[in-house]
């Protein structure tokens, strides 16, 4: 008994793992989950259809039996009436119990037929309901799988957009900007060095002196020209 219990628990554990495994597969593949459900319902529908057919056949058998008993009852009633009319009491005494028995059989068959008809009606309604549920499930499968495909496409696009980064491009531009700034700084440094260089300062000083000498000469020329003009006017 202990071994049986152990193996039973082991079997239940295995079934539990398989159930989780199948459940995960169905989550990843909803089309499989829907198709499995549809196939299961179709299988139940076939079983219910066979059961319904059996119920209908039983109802038909009862109807056939009832028809036979009704015919026997009608003939027995006619025979009893004829026996009574002709004064055949011994025959009448035999036919009366037979008629009573047929009446009871008729009552039983009518009750049985009523129940069989009710069972057949319920079975057919159940069959139609299951068929309707199968059609609904098929439509739901198409609708949900379409929604799933749309959602997966959206998620894929979102992931792609999230994966697009401008960091590399920005860093590349930062490097370019830094290079430009360094180049400008080097150029400015060259100018600053030139301005602070002794030779440069002396050259600048000489240029300033030369400019001052030229200005002095220009001033002297202007003064001489003015004096010359003034002397010319006096002599007139």
For 21-76, write each residue's pLDDT tens digit. 445 555 677 888 888 989 999 999 999 999 999 999 999 999 999 999 999 999 99
Mean pLDDT, rounded, of the chain: 80
**Highest mean pLDDT, choosing among 106-110, 144-148, 196-200, 206-210:** 106-110
CB distance 120 to 52 below 8 Å: yes
The residue-averaged pLDDT of 146-154 equals 88
pLDDT of residue 7: 47
pLDDT of residue 121: 93
Percent of the chain scored above 70 by pLDDT?
Answer: 74
Q: How far apart are CA 156 and CA 38, in angstroms?
A: 29
Q: How far apart are CA 135 and CA 139, in angstroms?
A: 6
The residue-averaged pLDDT of 181-199 equals 70
Place of tokens 């000498």: 213
Q: How far apart are CA 57 and CA 112, in angstroms?
A: 13
Place of tokens 């300062």: 201
Q: How far apart are CA 51 and CA 43, in angstroms?
A: 12
The residue-averaged pLDDT of 83-99 equals 93
Closest CA to 38 of 127, 132, 138: 138
Q: How far is CA 182 from the centre of its chain?
A: 55
Helix, strand, coil in percent for the chain, rounding step 5:
95, 0, 5
pTM of the model: 0.51
Q: Does pLDDT of 89 surpass 80?
A: yes
pLDDT of residue 148: 87
What 3 state SS string does 109-165 have? HHHHHHHHHHHHHHHHHHHHHHHHHHHHHHHHHHHHHHHHHHHHHHHHHHHHHHHCC
Q: Does pLDDT of 107 surpass 90?
A: yes
pLDDT of residue 27: 63
Positive or negative, the CA dihedral 224, 230, 231, 236 is positive
pLDDT of residue 20: 42
Q: Does pLDDT of 9 surpass 90?
A: no
């Amino acid at each position: 008994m202990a071994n049986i219990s152990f193996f039973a628990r082991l079997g239940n554990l295995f079934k539990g793992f398989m159930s989780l495994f199948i459940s995960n597969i169905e989550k990843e593949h909803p089309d499989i989950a829907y198709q499995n459900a549809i196939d299961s319902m179709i299988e139940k529908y076939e079983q219910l259809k066979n059961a319904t057919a059996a119920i209908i056949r039983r109802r038909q058998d009862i109807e056939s039996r009832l028809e036979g008993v009704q015919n026997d009852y009608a003939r027995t009633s006619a025979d009893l009436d004829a026996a009574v009319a002709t004064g055949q009491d011994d025959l009448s005494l035999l036919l009366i119990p037979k008629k009573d028995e047929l009446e009871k059989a008729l009552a039983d068959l009518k009750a049985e037929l009523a129940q069989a008809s009710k069972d057949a009606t319920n079975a057919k309604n159940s069959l139609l309901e299951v068929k309707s549920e199968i059609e609904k499930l098929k439509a739901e499968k198409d609708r949900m799988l379409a929604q799933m495909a749309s959602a997966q496409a959206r998620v894929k696009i979102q992931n792609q957009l999230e994966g697009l980064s401008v960091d590399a491009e920005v860093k590349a531009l930062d490097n370019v900007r830094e290079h430009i700034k360094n180049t400008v700084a080097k150029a400015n440094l060259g100018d600053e060095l030139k301005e602070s260089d002794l030779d440069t300062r002396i050259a600048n000083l000489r240029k300033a002196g030369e400019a001052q000498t030229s200005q002095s000469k220009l001033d002297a020329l202007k003064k001489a020209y003015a004096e010359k003009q003034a002397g010319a006017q006096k002599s007139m």
